[in-house]
Amino acid sequence: MTAASAPGKCILFGEHAVVYGQPAIAVAIEQRCEVKIEETNTENWIIDGLNYLPEKHPHVEGLRNRLWFQGPSLKLNIISEVPAGSGLGSSAALSIALAAAMRAKKGRRVGIDGSWHEGYSSEINQTDAYSDNLQKTDPGSICIGGKKLFGIDAIDSDELGILGHAVEAASQGGRASPTDTAAVSLGGAVLVSDKREESAEWQYSRNLNTPEGERKWEVHKISLPESFDEVSLVIGDTGVHAPTGDMVAGVAELLQKNPEKMQEIVAIGKLVRRATIAMKDGDLQALGNAMTENHLLLRGLGVSHPKLENLIKAAAPYSLGVKLTGAGGGGCMIALTTQPKTVSQAIEMAGGTAYVSKLGAGGVHLHE
């Protein structure tokens, strides 16, 4: 059996504005999704004891087509602490953990010099994980000599990020920013922008052909100083599900009717750049203030919800900063606080479900 896990994520700053090219910051959270895989001699794949239905599991299907198009059926076991459909990156966590387990088990053929003879990378372009016409051939099979690596030696975080982003995009009608998959695979804190930002450590670029045209993102890491150990993130789930696509479409309509609202999008971008500096400096109060300010701007874009406002009001007196996280319209809010127990209780008393995490948990991890 091979097992891997990956964390969920929270958007700290910049949701919605990121759709218009502004930067956004996301952190990996402690709640994780673990996937175990083993080969089975049944004809069908099996997920959690049930027959696998591709239409029910588009991310699994996307990875099967890219990584496991040959070979025996797999039996998958998924244990997730990341609530689904709440904007906490549950599908990204599943995709990245499964991609890691599959690659570790399948292995990777490399040449004598260590060069890859199979796999996806931003440095090689003869294989394209984003293509609709996947070439289901294994370049490794025509390689003479070399060797096959398995387990941790076969895993590459760039490849996992590409695969995760490609299957997220494929299952979301061709639209997905790499924010979730970058946070989940790299762990820690990531900054995603349409240009390289001086204030953070650039990692890689991602391009995607979306229905609205070619999009490009630059993915960076932000190193968190030690002072972050003093604070927690408390996540409050309203239990209200609002599809991300509908919320994004709502903002687009608002901007079309009121073009002056674009100033708020630009203001969010400026705030994110300010927050990046506060994060690097470990200035927790400045960070909290920026979160609350970001929430007010999001509220102005019409993406809050009475239940979010309730949880935010309950958490605010014991927090450095509070805001909704992700698409809004329901979903989750977050509070930056040194009193996680008190804030959790306040959230639960106000009718939400609370989760506590440190900021910037570890990324994808192979267990067995």
248 is a site residue for ligand PMV (CB under 6 A):
yes
Select the span of 122-130, 244-252, 306-314, 356-364 touching ligand PMV (CB under 6 A): 244-252
Binder of ligand PMV out of 18, 82, 167, 169 (CB under 6 A): 18
Scanning the structure block, which residue is given the tokens 């690659």?
103
Residue nearer to ligand PMV on the CB measure, 118 or 218? 218
327 is a site residue for ligand PMV (CB under 6 A):
yes
Residue nearer to ligand PMV on the CB measure, 175 or 367? 175
Residue nearer to ligand PMV on the CB measure, 2 or 91? 91
Select the span of 15-23, 71-79, 102-110, 340-348 touching ligand PMV (CB under 6 A): 15-23
Taking the complex as a whole, the smallest distance from the CB of residue 245 to ligand PMV amounts, in Å, to 9
Site track 165-204 with ligand PMV (rule: CB under 6 A), x = hit:
------------x-xx------------------------
Binder of ligand PMV out of 6, 8, 16, 284 (CB under 6 A): 16
Cβ-closest residue to ligand PMV?
Answer: 326
Q: Two tokens at 119? A: 């796999």
326 is a site residue for ligand PMV (CB under 6 A):
yes
15 is a site residue for ligand PMV (CB under 6 A):
yes
2 is a site residue for ligand PMV (CB under 6 A):
no
Spell out the SS3 assignment of the chain.
Answer: CEEEEEEEEEEEECCCHHHHCCCEEEEEEEEEEEEEEEEECCCCCEECCEECCHHHCHHHHHHHHHHCCCCCEEEEEEEECCCCCCCCCHHHHHHHHHHHHHHHHHCEEECCCCCECCCCCCCCCCCCCCCCCCCCCCHHHHCCCCEEECHHHHCCHHHHHHHHHHHHHHHCCCCCCCHHHHHHHHCCEEEEECCCCCCCEEEEEEEEEECCEEEEEEEEEECCCHHHHHCEEEEEECCCCCCHHHHHHHHHHHHHHCHHHHHHHHHHHHHHHHHHHHHHHCCHHHHHHHHHHHHHHHHHCCCCCHHHHHHHHHHHHHCCEEEEECCCCCCEEEEEECCHHHHHHHHHHCCCEEEEECCCCCCCEECC
Select the span of 28-36, 95-103, 241-249, 345-353 touching ligand PMV (CB under 6 A): 241-249
Taking the complex as a whole, the smallest distance from the CB of residue 80 to ligand PMV amounts, in Å, to 15
Residue nearer to ligand PMV on the CB measure, 16 or 106? 16
Residue nearer to ligand PMV on the CB measure, 74 or 166? 166
Handedness of CA 239, 243, 248, 254 (dihedral sign): negative
64 is a site residue for ligand PMV (CB under 6 A):
no
Binding-site size for ligand PMV (CB under 6 A) equals 14
Residue nearer to ligand PMV on the CB measure, 248 or 286? 248
CA dist list (Å): 346 to 299, 314, 330, 342, 356: 22, 6, 18, 6, 13
237 is a site residue for ligand PMV (CB under 6 A):
no
Nearest to 190 by CA among 172, 173, 177: 177
**Please, which of residues 71-130 interact with ligand PMV by CB under 6 A?**
87
Residue nearer to ligand PMV on the CB measure, 34 or 168? 168
Taking the complex as a whole, the smallest distance from the CB of residue 85 to ligand PMV amounts, in Å, to 9
> Of how many residues is the chain composed?
368
220 is a site residue for ligand PMV (CB under 6 A):
no
Residue nearer to ligand PMV on the CB measure, 151 or 243? 243
Nearest to 328 by CA among 233, 243, 236, 235: 243
Binder of ligand PMV out of 95, 238, 244, 289 (CB under 6 A): 244
- The Cα–Cα gap between 291 and 286 comes to 9
The binding site for ligand PMV (CB under 6 A) comprises 11, 15-16, 18-19, 87, 177, 179-180, 244, 247-248, 326-327
